[in-house]
Structure 1
Amino acid sequence: MSRTIRAASEMQGHLRSYTLPESPWDRIAVGHPGSILLLRLLPLILVAITLPIAFISPVMTTYANYALVLLPAFTAFANGPIATGAATLVAIALISAGEFALGWLPHPQSAWSDMSAVIVIGVLCTGLAWFRNRIISRLLDMTLVAETAQLAIMPELPGRIGGMKVATIYRTAEGSPSLIGGDFFDIQDTDFGLRAVIGDVQGHDLSTVSLTEGLLGTFRERALDDPDLVTLVAHLERRVRLDNRDRDEWGQTFATAAVLEVSPAHNRLRTVLCGHATPLVVRSFAYSVGGKPLPPLGLADFGIQGPAQVREIELAPGDLIVLYTDGLVEARNAAGQQFPLVELLNAHAAAGIRDPSKLRARLLSDFLSGGYSRDDDLTLIAIQIPEATAP
C-alpha cells in the first residue's frame, strides 16, 4: 500500500481528519507532534552543537556563550516549568565549570559574575512557563467542552444504518477553529425508509453553527413523522425563515439542501433538491438522479403543500448513493483543475470498489495525492444498497 493511501486510510472517517501541513512552520502551528518535539529539543541541540565547536574553533566561543546564557529562555519557548528549571540548572553547571569560574572547562569563557544574570533569567522563564501552562490548560478545557458540544450536534454516524452500509467525510474549512461548520448532514432510519439530508449553510465560520444545529434538529424530529419529503422540506424551509425573522435585509441567510428517501424495500429512491448539488447513483457508472431544484432554503415561497418536485428512480442491489457539497468538487489543484468526483467514481466502480468505507479511503487518497486545496467546508456521504442474497 502506498504511503498516501495508507495515510488516507488511517484518517478518521468523520471529524478532525486534516491533511498534514506542508511547511515546517505550518506543522508547528497546528501542533504536529514531530515538529513540536523538535522545537522542544532545539535549545539542547543548539548548546550540544555550539559548545563542542567552541573547543575546536575559538571564533565560536562567543556564540556558545550566548546559547548557554539564553538556554532557559529558549527552553521556556516550547516547554513547561520543569524542563525550563532543568535547563537553568544545566546552564548554571556549565557556567560554574567555565574558564573564569571553576576553570574545569576552557569554554565557555564564563565567570561567577555571569551567574546572577542566568539565575534571574532562569527563574523568570520558569515562572512564565508555569503561567503559560496554566493558561493553555484552561484553554484546552474550554476547547474540550466546545468540541463535545459540537459533536453532540453532529455525532459520527455508525457504519450501518437501516441495513445499508454508510461512510461519511466531513471537513470544516481549512483554518477553521471549530469541528462544525456550514455543512450539515444526517441519516435517519424511519418507518418510511432511510431518510438523509445534506446541505450547506451560507458561510463556513462559527456564525453558521446556530442554523446548522436548527436544521439538523428539525430534520431529526420531522423525518420520523412527516409522511413525505415535500412536508419534510417545508419544515426545513420554515426553520430557516424563523432564523431570519430577527435579521435585517442584509443579514438574511439561506441554506442549500438535498433530501432523499430510500424505500423500506430498498428499491426506490426519492429526492428533493433545494439549490443543492445533484446526488449521484453509482452502478456501472455514476449518474445524476436529482430533478429540477427548488430555490435554497430560506428563499423559497412555499408552505406545507408547496410545489416541491420529487424525483423518483428505481434502485438495484449494490447501488451506491453519493451525496456531496460544493466544497469537494470546487477544490482545485496547482494546475487549477477541480476535483473530478464523477470521473473518479467511475474509475473506482470499474475497479470493483463498491464498499463505502473503501470508497471513502480511495477518494481521500485521490484528494491528497492530487494536491487539491479548498477554502470551504467539505462533506461526502456514501450509502450502499444491500447486495442481493442468493436464494
Structure 2
Amino acid sequence: MVKPRKSATGPHRRSWLRGAPPPRWVRVLPVLLLVGVGAASLTESAPLDIGFLLGAVPPLAVLAYGPLATAFLGAATIGLLTIPFFHLNQPGNTDLFTLGFVATLSVFVSFVRGRRDEQLDLERTVAETAQRAIVPDVQQRVGPVRCASLYRAAERGTLVGGDFFDVRPGPHGVRAVHGDVQGHGLSAVATVASVLGAFREAVLDDVDAEAIAARLDRRLVVDSARTEHAELFATAVFLDFMPHGREVRVLACGHPPPVLLRGGTVSILEPDPGPPLGLGLADVMPGTAATVSLLPGDLLLLASDGVLETRDASGAFYPFVERLARMTGVGLDRLPDEIWADLSRFAPKIQDDVTLLILTLDASGPG
C-alpha cells in the first residue's frame, strides 16, 4: 500500500489567489451584498441612495462563479434597481446602461476565466503526474523494511526539487538512497531524474553500495559532458539491507550521515565518507560502507540539508539531534510530520528543500 504524499502546509500551501478554489466567503459575498441592499431598502419607506453598492456585485461574482451564475446575479442587480418596491433611488438611463455593460463584461470575463482555469488545471495535473513519476511516494513496506517519508519542495507550487530518495527491492536485498543534487527547484529536476534512473537500474545489477555509488557518479559525469560548464554533482547516502539477518551497510558520499534512533537515545552514524557524486572520483577514492547491526525497533533517519541547515530568526541552526531526542516515543508513521511541525515552528521561513526518509527493519511482517 502506498501512502499518498501530503500536500504542503504553511507557506507552501496553494492559496486561492494562486489557483486553488475560492474560499466560501468569496462565493457568499456577492449574494450577501445583493440581499443586504434589498433588505435595507425594505426597512425604509423613503428611497435610499445605496444603489451604487450593487455595481460591485457582477465583478465580485466573476471571482467565484461561472458565466450563467454571473449573468443571473447581474440581472438580479438590474432588477433590484428598477423595481419600485425596493425603494431605491430611481437610476437614470446612463446608470442602467453602465450597470448593464459591467454585468455583460463580467459574464465575458467569467467565461474566459473558466476556460483558463480548465487549461491551468490540466497543465497542473500533467506537471504533478510527471513530478510524481520522478520521485514517487515511497511504499510503507519494501520487503522487510518499513518506510516513512516527507518531501517539501522549496519552490512554491512544485512537488519535486533538488532532493531525492527511493527504496527499492533487488536480488541483493533492499536498497535505499537519500541525496541532494546541485541547486533546487525545477532546474534540478532533470538531474534528479537522471540520478534516480541510474539508481533503480543499479539496484538490479550491482552487488554493493560502493558499486551503486560508482554507477551514479559516472552517470553525472556523462550528463555534465553534454552541457558546457554544467558541473553536475550530488551528495547521497546509500543503505544496503542484507537479505538475511539484521544488518545494514551505510555509505555516505558527501551527504550528512544517517541518525540512529535506538530506544530513548539518538546517535549519528559515522561511516568512512566518500566523495560527492559527479566528480569522477568514485572509482579512484571510494568511501567504505560501514556495517551496522540493527535491533528490533531501531529507526534509521536520513535528513536533507533543508532540515540540518535551517536557521531561526537569530541565525542559529536547527538543533536536529536534540529535538529528535524529544520525539523518540513517536511512532514511525507520525515521526515525519512531527519533525516538520517542529521545524516550521523553529524557523520563520524555510528556503531549502526539506526531505526525510525513515526506515526500520521489521522482518516479522509480510515480504
Same fold, TM-score > 0.5, yes or no: yes
Matched, 1:373 2:338: no
Give the CA deviation at 1:205: 1.6
Deviations for 1:243-274, whole angstroms, at most 9, x for unmatched residues? 2112223x322211111112123422211111
8 Å Cα contact 2:195-2:220 kept in structure 1 = yes
SS in 2 for 1:237: helix
Aligned residues of 2:154 and 2:353 also touching (Cα < 8 A): yes
Change (3 A) 1:317 1:301: same
Q: Does 1:44 align with 2:31?
A: yes
Deviation at 1:314, TM superposition (A): 1.9
1:328 is aligned, of 307, 321, 328, to 307
Which deviates the most, 81-90 or 217-226?
Answer: 81-90
What corresponds to 1:140 in structure 2?
A: 121
**1:329–1:56 distance in 2 versus 1, CA, 3 Å:** farther
* Alignment partner of 1:92 is 2:68: no
Q: Distance in 2 between matches of 1:22 and 1:306?
A: 40
Residue matched to 2:132? 151
Report the alpha carbon displacement of residue 156 of structure 1 after superposing the two structures with TM.
1.1
Aligned to 1:384: 360
1:217-296 equivalence runs, <5 A? 217-249=197-229, 251-284=230-263, 285-296=265-276
| Structure 1 residue aligned with 2:339 | 363
Is 1:15–2:2 an aligned residue pair?
no
Aligned residue for 2:145?
A: 164
Is the Cα contact below 8 Å between 2:272 and 2:287 reproduced in 1? no
Task: Give 3-state SS (helix, strand or coil) of 1:212's partner.
Answer: helix
- 5 Å-filtered alignment, 1:108-123, equals 108-123=89-104
* Distance in 1, Cα, partners of 2:233 & 2:4: 25
Return 5+ residue gaps in structure 2 as ranges.
none
Q: Say whether the 8 Å CA contact 2:3–2:140 is kept in structure 1.
A: no
CA shift, 1:381, in A, is 0.7
**Structure 2 CA distance for aligned equivalents of residues 255 and 269 of structure 1:** 22
Partner of 1:3: none
Q: 1:194 to 1:266 in 2, by over 3 A?
A: farther
Q: Bigger shift: 240-249 or 374-383?
A: 240-249
Residue correspondences, number: 362
Q: Percent identity?
A: 32
The answer to whether 1:181 aligns with 2:161 is: yes
Range that drifts further, 305-314 or 222-231? 305-314
CA distance in 2, matches of 1:375, 1:248: 28
Contact 1:188 1:195 in 2 (8 A): yes
Q: Which of 296, 315, 319 matches 1:340?
A: 319
Structure 2 SS opposite 1:357: coil
In 1, the alpha carbon distance for the partners of 2:192 and 2:208 equals 22
Q: TM-score, normalised by structure 1?
A: 0.83
- Tell me if the contact between 2:307 and 2:343 (Cα under 8 Å) persists in the aligned partners: no
Q: Which runs of 5+ in 1 are unaligned?
A: 1-11, 98-102
In the alignment, what sits opposite 1:100? none
Amino acid at match of 1:70: A
Whole-angstrom distance in 1 between the partners of 2:348 and 2:172? 39
**CA offsets, 1:86-113, max 9 Å, x none?**
211111111112xxxxx22222542455
* Conserved? CA contact 1:13–1:169, under 8 Å: no
Secondary structure in 2 matching 1:219: helix
Letter in 2 for 1:373: K
- Residue identity matched to 2:248: L
> Separation in 1 of the partners of 2:19 and 2:308?
28
Instruction: Give 2:23's aligned amino acid.
Output: I
Equivalent position amino acid for 2:282 in 1: F
> Is residue 2:179 matched to residue 1:199?
yes
Does structure 2 conserve the Cα–Cα contact (< 8 Å) formed by 1:280 and 1:287?
yes
Once superposed, what is the RMSD of the aligned Cα atoms?
Answer: 2.9
Pick from 28, 34, 39 the counterpart of residue 16 of structure 2: 28
TM-score of the superposition, structure 2-length normalised? 0.88
Deviation of 1:326 after TM superposition, in Å, equals 0.8
The CA deviation string for residues 199-258 of structure 1, in whole angstroms up to 9 with x for no partner, is 111111211111101111110110121011111100000111122112223x32221111
Worse-superposed segment, 368-377 or 282-291: 368-377
